[in-house]
Chain A
């Protein structure tokens, strides 16, 4: 069965960067970078987690703000990635 992307992304961010299980602690559309939720090592940890959980590989050229700066952007990217 396909893994639901949104809870996968949200729960990792909540647990590893915000240290809470309170789902209201973050929004799906807000910038993860400018709000300081995720830093450079955080983005790498998140990508490694997604690569392992979804058996995908994120090439360097995909590591851009358009794909990873918000939960919505990440989910849209993952949808494209797993559809292809």
Chain B
């Protein structure tokens, strides 16, 4: 099985567009040359096998060049969430110990994070300010290319994707080149992509879904058109029409925005061949409206986890109606079983925990054996998701065992938000939970036991200064006490249940 650097190299002579931003683009040929220059710049600095390169970049040509260039040089890539704040960046950089950080120019959060490190990495600043000695232009563009022999091996670490910024125990999912290659091959098996395809991507590369969209399309020589966000659905649909895009990938809230806020029928989207949806259950009504609005596009419902590179199951479009609400069957190369509490196999249609096995399952969490041992068991990944398998081998999810909140395209660990809020004077204790929301899937609610006259705005302003915007609680409620176990641990599930029964605010 070809590793991703080799798959990209296969298109090195192609003049077709690889990545198209809104105002500039790069061909496969030029992309490959830039990747080699980046690898050369790393080699000059002695960065290679066994090292890590952290990226703090929005989706961009530079982010792709830095990723593949690091792989060619033999280094692992640590793409960090650019929406996160200095408090998260510091934790991740200290934990991952990269030799190099590639970031955007003029970021106060990056400066703050670097200043907090005892041993800061080398830096390359990508962006408009090219006069800088550590600028992309000075370091990468000026570098002579190295020979195109990739130093990457199948078992080498390729990516570390952090799923939580919790101070005590950051979780960085370790994916090898073999993991990435296996998952890309499985996804291509059902999406059947080719170099005639083009996708408009709004999903960040530092999330597994966005990374998966990028790498699957580059592997076949397709065109990846980048849109910064979904703030203006009109802009997104105009781009889909203008690019004659054959594909689009979104989370449920993206599709809800497109259906509610744009007249899809007013645009020529006839080139759309496939739509993919992952990132949580989409309401059946939204699925039905999407099918009605874009009947010619095949809709692929998918399920997976960062710990499984990205994908675990897919629902063939032809079975969408018959199995609506399910997440389909395992992708090629993956086995799924449902287990009872005691680890024994559950019967057909019996609800239990979803366990997965395959070449796409992670090696573990970076420098976190305890967290790794909790989810990897005898070669199986315990997903923490609850589900049942029907008689046709189709998986139906019924909930999550863990507390992770899914809001829009984001995953939020309650502890990350609780730690930030707890630092605020006047907070006695706090529990953060997800509340069901029609558009976002879930929104974040903070339940606080306060001292004095702490108010909602103070809490949210405090969070705004410290957390990514999507982690700021939409709801802040003050309570007399929080439900606890006998040992004094807050029962988050009970807080969530109470919140659900009392409704919003």
Q: Which residue of A lies closest to B230 (CB)?
A: A40
The docked-state distance in angstroms from the alpha carbon of A57 to that of B194 is 43
The answer, yes or no, to whether B470 is at the interface (CB within 8 Å) is yes
Contacting B at CB under 8 A, from A1-32, are: 15, 18-20
Contacting B at CB under 8 A, from A30-83, are: 33, 36, 38-41, 43-44, 60-61, 63-65, 68
The docked-state distance in angstroms from the alpha carbon of A81 to that of B191 is 45
Tell me if B232 and A68 are in contact (CB < 8 A).
Answer: yes
Say yes or no: A36-B261 contact (C-beta < 8 A), given A43-B232, A61-B234, A65-B235.
no
Please, how many residues of chain B have a CB less than 8 angstroms from a CB on the other chain?
23
The docked-state distance in angstroms from the alpha carbon of A40 to that of B457 is 21
Tell me if A19 and B231 are in contact (CB < 8 A).
Answer: no
Say yes or no: A39-B234 contact (C-beta < 8 A), given A20-B457, A44-B261, A60-B261.
no
Q: Which residue of B lies closest to A43 (CB)?
A: B231
Tell me if A60 and B234 are in contact (CB < 8 A).
Answer: yes
Tell me if A41 and B232 are in contact (CB < 8 A).
Answer: no
The docked-state distance in angstroms from the alpha carbon of A15 to that of B464 is 12
Say yes or no: A33-B229 contact (C-beta < 8 A), given A18-B461, A20-B461, A41-B439.
yes
The docked-state distance in angstroms from the alpha carbon of A44 to that of B437 is 15
Chain A residues near B439 (CB-CB < 8 A) = 41
Tell me if A64 and B235 are in contact (CB < 8 A).
Answer: yes
Tell me the interface secondary structure of chain A in the complex.
Answer: helix
Chain B residues near A65 (CB-CB < 8 A) = 231-232, 235
The docked-state distance in angstroms from the alpha carbon of A64 to that of B262 is 11
Residue in B233, B253, B408, B440 whose CB lies within 8 Å of A63? B233
Contacting A at CB under 8 A, from B460-492, are: 460-461, 464, 469-470
Tell me if A19 and B83 are in contact (CB < 8 A).
Answer: no
The answer, yes or no, to whether B155 is at the interface (CB within 8 Å) is no
The answer, yes or no, to whether B257 is at the interface (CB within 8 Å) is yes
Please, how many residues of chain A have a CB less than 8 angstroms from a CB on the other chain?
18
Tell me if B235 and A39 are in contact (CB < 8 A).
Answer: no
Tell me if B231 and A18 are in contact (CB < 8 A).
Answer: no
Residue in A19, A44, A61 whose CB lies within 8 Å of B457? A19
Chain A residues near B2 (CB-CB < 8 A) = none
The docked-state distance in angstroms from the alpha carbon of A20 to that of B463 is 12
Q: Which residue of B lies closest to A58 (CB)?
A: B261
Tell me if A36 and B83 are in contact (CB < 8 A).
Answer: yes
The answer, yes or no, to whether B263 is at the interface (CB within 8 Å) is yes
Nearest CB in chain A: distance from B264 CB, A: 10
Residue in B262, B460, B470 whose CB lies within 8 Å of A39? B470
Tell me if B231 and A39 are in contact (CB < 8 A).
Answer: yes
Tell me if B457 and A64 are in contact (CB < 8 A).
Answer: no
Chain A residues near B464 (CB-CB < 8 A) = 18-19
Tell me if B229 and A40 are in contact (CB < 8 A).
Answer: yes
Chain B residues near A43 (CB-CB < 8 A) = 231-232
Tell me if B83 and A63 are in contact (CB < 8 A).
Answer: no
Binary A-proximity of B219-232 (CB < 8 A = 1, otherwise 0)? 00000000001111
Tell me if B460 and A19 are in contact (CB < 8 A).
Answer: yes
Residue in A20, A40, A61 whose CB lies within 8 Å of B231? A40
Chain B residues near A15 (CB-CB < 8 A) = 457
Nearest CB in chain B: distance from A14 CB, A: 10
Tell me if A19 and B461 are in contact (CB < 8 A).
Answer: yes
Chain A residues near B83 (CB-CB < 8 A) = 36
Tell me if B231 and A64 are in contact (CB < 8 A).
Answer: no
The docked-state distance in angstroms from the alpha carbon of A81 to that of B440 is 30
Nearest CB in chain A: distance from B478 CB, A: 16
Say yes or no: A36-B469 contact (C-beta < 8 A), given A18-B461, A60-B262.
yes
Chain A contacts to B: CB under 8 angstroms:
15, 18-20, 33, 36, 38-41, 43-44, 60-61, 63-65, 68
Nearest 9 pairs of A and B residues by beta carbon? A19-B461, A19-B460, A19-B457, A40-B231, A60-B262, A40-B230, A63-B234, A36-B469, A43-B231
Could you show 26 A-B contacts with beta carbons less than 8 Å apart? Answer: A15-B457, A19-B458, A19-B461, A19-B464, A20-B457, A20-B461, A33-B229, A33-B231, A36-B83, A38-B231, A39-B469, A40-B229, A40-B231, A41-B440, A43-B231, A43-B232, A44-B257, A44-B261, A60-B233, A60-B234, A60-B263, A61-B234, A63-B233, A63-B261, A65-B231, A68-B232
Not counting A18-B464, A36-B83, a sample of 12 additional A-B residue pairs whose C-beta atoms are within 8 angstroms of each other reads A19-B458, A20-B457, A40-B233, A40-B253, A41-B440, A43-B231, A44-B257, A60-B233, A60-B234, A60-B261, A63-B232, A64-B232
